Structure 1
């Protein structure tokens, strides 16, 4: 559909890239980029508020239950009562531009930025990694930890000591990659803006294609469900792969995908040129020819981004103007003093 293609191009226009030293200085190009997105009043407010007030790309949960929020104006932690800006001491909110956050197996927190590399926080101090330290790019919009404990930032893999950067010289079909998933069989699934999705089985790189012979392009989100099927979103909407057959599930955009505790599939993404939505695909009908989908909530462009099911079953999602929670009945907008949307 045309609107899904426009959606993909819009995402690419926002950031086209592949998904240490102790430093607190911020590159000047970052300052210019961030300032262009927000008014002076918004930036001043960001310096004082303890609530995410800007675009939230990703929401994750720490092992202790805290909610971790990567926003353009800082990385926040919500402990169930209040928010804390974890990055305010290393960079002013008005100069930050964070896209992703992850807690690794050792308990370290990693923060990925749009154009200033990555930060690691061990609970006491920060370490800043950039291209000077071996990172392939200072753009780190996606962070992933594989089973071996390696941390991936786009085309860079960090083993705890050094970075290994992968390119076409290593056999990769593209230099612009993001490791999106390591499935139960150990296969690695890669995708990137404007690139074809491919899989690495330890020996061979395979660019996957649908029954029409077309590769899946611009894959940003992918999960493996409890049955072992792979769900992902590309320029044509939501797909499912059962190991042998690709099924086009929906033309709804799938910027982000999760499977909840009940087996339902949730997505965020564009549903028409002017609206994005939070959608839920019913667990009992997932493998039907036409799964039952419920549009939980819709809104303007970029209104629904990264998504998380918290331990208490609530659904958290980022948007173009903050972070939100849905407890099954009530939507909470944390920018609103009253809370309820």
Structure 2
């Protein structure tokens, strides 16, 4: 593959969607011999890893195109190896400690719930709008919102309520309609959350909406809509951050502020109130950086902090409780400990 073709492929993936000291993760983690784990390795998933989180026990979990991986501080284990060949994309730990994993691609198989012992699968057969699940969100009532190709599904634990996104905006479907094929990228939900007023924010491949009581409002700044927002994040002050091709934005008290004009794919707030972003300087020859915005004491103003340049395409960022920053990238998993960036790719 020539260099120019590789750059084009990397960009299309985004639009459509070295060493350091080992740190022990928090939590009561059972230490096991690698021979006791089938398929356990000291390297992370190979290739595209879309999202990464830390669970309540301190384990790191990764949604990758090669499966769901768990990292216990020593070994990586592919937890879905015998489950499905689908590409995993989205991930969430709910308030009860269950883990949810969404799949995408032509062989997408909906969303899986893992209770620590077994996986349970939810697909269009159970009422999910589409089997391509690009985002997962749990609201304050303990119910779930699944962003899919063509709209989103509300799940109360027993049944689905579906909402379709098309050229006319958002409308609830009460006919039981499902999409068996991938819908337009414009109508795919990239990210979803609720603000402190209980209003749902939905970022799609096209516009970003606020949705409340059957009314959809297109979010704009200076009468310009926010197009193709890739990630929404609510910080500890209740402000909403938006990242996408048009940069990094914050909505605070209904006022928008811009912090960066680079392409932003991922946002996370750490325990100290700093905002970390994965971004690229341009779309033609993207060079991806991990950047930090330091906050003041009341977390209302920010200044530039550390920047780590020349990274693979960044899809997801999370802050673990030991202060490390973890990256899900085009080339697997990385960890930044405040001094050095470590790759868990076996080729490094």
What is the TM-score when the length of structure 2 is the normalising length? 0.76
What corresponds to 2:306 in structure 1?
294
CA pair 178-53 structure 1, distance change in 2 beyond 3 A: closer
Q: Does the CA-based 8 Å contact 1:238-1:251 persist in structure 2?
A: yes
Structure-1 separation of matches of 2:121 and 2:238: 37
How far off its partner does 1:216 sit?
0.6
| Structure 1: unaligned runs, 5 residues or longer | 1-5, 16-46
Among 157, 161, 165, the alignment partner of 1:160 is 157
Structure-1 separation of matches of 2:214 and 2:162: 18
How far off its partner does 1:60 sit?
0.9
| Structure 2: unaligned runs, 5 residues or longer | 1-7, 18-37, 172-185
Aligned residues: 294
Structure-1 separation of matches of 2:15 and 2:315: 16
1:124 aligns with 2:124: no
Q: Does the CA-based 8 Å contact 2:39-2:77 persist in structure 1?
A: no
1:185 aligns with 2:197: yes
3-state SS in 2 of match to 1:132: helix
Alignment of 1:1-341 (within 5 A): 10-11=12-13, 14-15=16-17, 50=41, 51-91=44-84, 95-114=85-104, 115-154=108-147, 155-167=152-164, 172=170, 176-177=188-189, 180-193=192-205, 195-202=206-213, 204-211=215-222, 213-272=223-282, 273-284=285-296, 291-300=303-312, 302=313, 304-336=314-346
Structure-2 separation of matches of 1:142 and 1:162: 18
Structure-2 separation of matches of 1:254 and 1:293: 16
How far off its partner does 1:190 sit?
0.7
Structure-1 separation of matches of 2:296 and 2:61: 31
The alignment's C-alpha RMSD in Å is: 2.8
What is the TM-score when the length of structure 1 is the normalising length? 0.78
CA pair 171-209 structure 1, distance change in 2 beyond 3 A: closer
How far off its partner does 1:293 sit?
4.8
Q: Per-residue displacement from partner, 1:84-130 (whole Å, max 9, x unpaired)?
A: 21111213xxx331111222222222111112211122222222222
Structure-1 separation of matches of 2:9 and 2:45: 25
Q: Per-residue displacement from partner, 1:156-212 (whole Å, max 9, x unpaired)?
A: 11111111111259972796445522122222111111x21111244642211102x
Q: Choose between structure 1 and 2: higher strand proportion.
A: 2
CA pair 128-227 structure 1, distance change in 2 beyond 3 A: closer
Q: Does the CA-based 8 Å contact 1:56-1:318 persist in structure 2?
A: yes
How far off its partner does 1:294 sit?
3.4
Structure-2 separation of matches of 1:86 and 1:307: 21
How far off its partner does 1:12 sit?
6.2
Q: Per-residue displacement from partner, 1:44-69 (whole Å, max 9, x unpaired)?
A: xxx95633112111001111111111
3-state SS in 2 of match to 1:10: helix
Structure-1 separation of matches of 2:72 and 2:309: 25
How far off its partner does 1:71 sit?
0.8
Q: Choose between structure 1 and 2: higher helix proportion.
A: 1
